[in-house]
Amino acid sequence: MSSTAGQVIRCKAAVAWEAGKPLVIEEVEVAPPQKMEVRLKILFTSLCHTDVYFWEAKGQNPVFPRILGHEAGGIVESVGEGVTDLVPGDHVLPVFTGECKECAHCKSEESNMCNLLRINTDRGVMIHDEKSRFSINGKPIYHFVGTSTFSEYTVTHVGCVAKINPLAPLDKVCILSCGISTGLGATLNVAKPKKGSSVAVFGLGAVGLAAAEGARIAGASRIIGVDVNSSRFEHAKKFGVTEFVNPKECKKPVQEVIAEMTDGGVDRSVECTGNIDAMISAFECVHDGWGVAVLVGVPHKDAVFKTHPVNLLNERTLKGTFFGNYKPRSDLPSVVEKYMNKELELEKFITHEVPFAEINKAFDYMLKGEGLRCIIRMD
């Protein structure tokens, strides 16, 4: 065990004290892991739009002060009671959702939505005792989606940690713990395009480009990128996108435009915006008889999906997915191996890098729509 095992660790963390205000680098105390928990030393983390959304606190229960962050790579520092499959020194990816391996969902080959550990954005404490492991001068600082990776050390449930190949560069594979795996898995695990098929991807942000990357890996011959921002089109070519459609420039509904381009519709579509109109278009643009549309984006809570039932009766399939249908502990190690085998390219998703002290720059980049993923170096 490490020399710090069982002790409180004092380290730096970027604390969100209130909604929309710059994070503040503070010295925090991180308590030892309790039953079925692990304490991690975070080496690299990256910023995802979900962090920004909950930092802005628009449309959900605000929980502050809080340590955000959920895309990261690190090393196990110590383990709590009952943890048997991780030891100090293991290289890991913490994940915002989990895999207890005991519930009905975990035992099912079809689901990754663990009853115990699926994402809970309102919870700011650990499941074991409903207390935070972070504090400043004795006052609790709340957790975020069970990970809180904007801290040099963090505590997570063992079920939210994927043990990976120690040779994998953590500054690259850290981005697999959320958005990239979500888009990649939506294509490879859910849409499952055949070699030579056509795929439409709605939304060319990081998740959408990961979906396009999945289509490229699967051998799709046509990958149609759909986005209202035409400046994204050139960069998307690096991810296998072959054609582009901007709905704002279309004189008819984009699903009709795509159907005309593809002699009746694409074989598969993946929707990565959360915009309800894009969701409907993604479904209605797939070919009757065999077309499959997969919804990835999270819609507004009041949004309603409307389409004519005949679209379903004509043998189009509509599916949803969560985290690309990957089980975090069981499946993420194999996604890392796709990168190690040069089957999956991650470098092209990483557009910026900043030291931990300049973490607010990462927020600036994302708010300005600049780049895809910004790596934050914790050293």
Cis before 169 (ω within 30): no
CA distances from 276 to 70, 251, 268, 295, 303 (A): 26, 19, 18, 10, 6
Known catalytic residue at 48: yes
Known catalytic residue at 235: no
Catalytic entry in 39, 70, 157, 287: 70
Catalytic entry in 29, 56, 103, 128: 103
Known catalytic residue at 316: no
Which of 156, 194, 15, 140 has its CA nearest to residue 77? Answer: 156
Known catalytic residue at 373: yes
What distance in Å separates the CA atoms of residue 74 and residue 164, rounded to the nearest whole number? 10
User: Residue 368 contacts by C-beta under 8 Å, 6 or more apart in sequence?
Assistant: none
Catalytic entry in 37, 114, 143, 352: 114
Catalytic entry in 106, 160, 272, 374: 106
Known catalytic residue at 250: no
Catalytic entry in 118, 133, 232, 329: 118
Catalytic entry in 48, 160, 272, 374: 48
Known catalytic residue at 377: no
Q: Which residue type does 266 have?
A: V
Catalytic entry in 222, 268, 287, 373: 373
Catalytic entry in 37, 91, 100, 160: 100
What distance in Å separates the CA atoms of residue 70 and residue 79, rounded to the nearest whole number? 19
95-117 CB burial, b ≥16 within 10 A, e <16: bbbbbbeebebbeeeebbbbebb
Known catalytic residue at 106: yes
Known catalytic residue at 272: no
Catalytic entry in 178, 272, 285, 374: 178
Catalytic entry in 29, 49, 317, 358: 49
Catalytic entry in 45, 50, 156, 273: 50
Catalytic entry in 71, 77, 213, 284: 71
Which residues are catalytic, by number? 48-50, 70-71, 100, 103, 106, 114, 118, 178, 373
